Amino acid sequence: MDHSKVAKEQVLHLVFGAMFFVIIGIFAVGLDLASGFVKHIGVTDFTSQALEISAHAILVLDLVLFFIYLIVTSIEVVKGMVKND
């Protein structure tokens, strides 16, 4: 297997993985919007703050895991290219 084929496979893997993290990020944004909405309809501050904190926690965790995913995938690409030499 040549370098370009390994790189193409890994880039495809990276794109589909990134889509997964984007979906989780969209969920976190939606949860943040929901926290603002429930605040306006008169739900207690505790509930709206709980939703807001949950949205922030999900987004931060999503970003951290995405960067770890990028690092691990990049290492796999390099290993795959070195292995084929």
The answer to whether residues 59 and 26 touch, using CB atoms and an 8 Å cutoff, is: no
Residue 58's closest CA among 82, 35, 83? 35
Q: Is residue 35 part of a domain?
A: yes
Count of structural domains, the chain: 1
| 19-70 pLDDT tens trace | 999 999 999 999 999 999 999 998 999 999 999 999 999 999 999 999 999 8
Q: Tell me 84's DSSP state.
A: T
- Mean pLDDT of the region 66-79: 88
- Is the pTM of the predicted complex or chain greater than 0.85? no
> What is the structure's pLDDT at 68?
95
Does 81 reside within a domain? no
Does residue 30 form part of some domain? yes
Q: Is residue 49 situated within a structural domain?
A: yes
Domain that holds residue 70: 3-76
Tell me, yes or no, whether 85 lies in a domain: no
Residue 83 lies in a domain: no
